[in-house]
Amino acid sequence: MQKIDQYMHEFLSELNYKPILTMSSKLQGGKKLRSKLLLKIAGKSDISYKICAIIELIHAASLLHDDVIDEAKLRRGAQSINAEFGAKNAIMLGDILYSKAFYELSLIDLKLAKIISNAVVMLSVGELMDVNLSTTFNTDKNAYLKMIYNKTAVLIEASAKCGAILANLNEDDFANYGKNLGLAFQIVDDLLDIKSDEQTLGKPAMNDFKEGKTTLAYIYLYEKLNIQEKEKLKNYHKKELNINEINWIKSKMEEYKIFEQINMDLNIYTNEALNAILKYKMEDLEDIVKSMIEREF
């Protein structure tokens, strides 16, 4: 991971503008799931490290814009860039990271560039879907799944696909692995927003619902509630919830075994991911799936 950070720093240093380095130094590194995935498939090489650095710049840019859209004050337990430097600076830094990533990508390989740049287009569409779905209480599971595929899974899918191309493996198998891993990853992320506390998450718990995001747990719960309870849940949407309101939602999720229902979905996605690469016998990729499902933040 240090090699990837080194390339990211070199890319941004070439722009020769100190505020870029000042702000980018405050970016929270995260788990680098996409990079770990690509390196496990393709192995370590100069081109692999550069592709990883490019993907991490893209991912960081998407998070910068995401935090501005959500008016988030925290990112992984630290002050967000928009909170510390202002929304305008955060947006421009995101644009710089995107633009520099595309420039570096253009120097490497046309096929890889097409895969990653197309993923970024879809990622941006996913962001727009997320914003539009958050205006009302969404009850459409398919709309939610399409949104998280674009917003999250597509870049993980592209990372796995690029790794396979670099390793001369079947790109469709690894794209299928990455897609299902990405869907499961986001569903777990949404679930943790409900089940975990602020200290563990590095951001306020149940913040998604306050921001208008009707994630899978709320969609499933809505399907199970009676008419009066449905209205009650909808009235809590996009609201600052007190402890009693939070406890009511959580108790209803327990009563209707919502978490167990989501775990069944997660098993389907993880099995799809693992079956796609079963013949390659890559234990490291199996471990990535396991660690992603069992994570606490």
pLDDT in tens, 239-287: 999 999 999 999 999 999 999 999 999 999 999 999 999 999 999 999 9
Query: Long-range contacts made by residues 116-119, C-beta under 8 angstroms, separation at least 24?
Result: 116/51, 116/54, 116/55, 116/58, 116/158, 116/162, 118/158, 119/154, 119/155, 119/157, 119/158
pTM of the prediction? 0.94
Dist CA 263 CA 90 (whole Å): 36
- Mean residue pLDDT of the chain comes to 94
Residues 209, 75, 41, CA angle at the centre, nearest 5°?
Answer: 100
The CATH fold of domain 110-297: Farnesyl Diphosphate Synthase (1.10.600)
Same fold, 1-108 and 110-297: yes
Write out the DSSP string of 194-228: HHS-HHHHTS-TTHHHHTT---HHHHHHHHHS-HH
Mean pLDDT of 78-86: 95
| Residue 20 predicted with pLDDT over 90 | yes
Q: Which residues contact 78 (CB under 8 A, 6 or more apart)?
A: 26, 28, 202
Say yes or no to pLDDT of 203 above 80: no
Instruction: Say whether pLDDT at 202 is over 80.
Output: no
45-54, 77-86, 198-207, 261-270: least confidently modelled range: 198-207
Does domain 1-108 bear CATH number 1.10.600.10?
yes
Domain boundaries, the chain: 1-108, 110-297
DSSP string, 85-152: H-HHHHHHHHHHHHHHHHHHHHTT-HHHHHHHHHHHHHHHHHHHHHHHHTTS----HHHHHHHHIIII
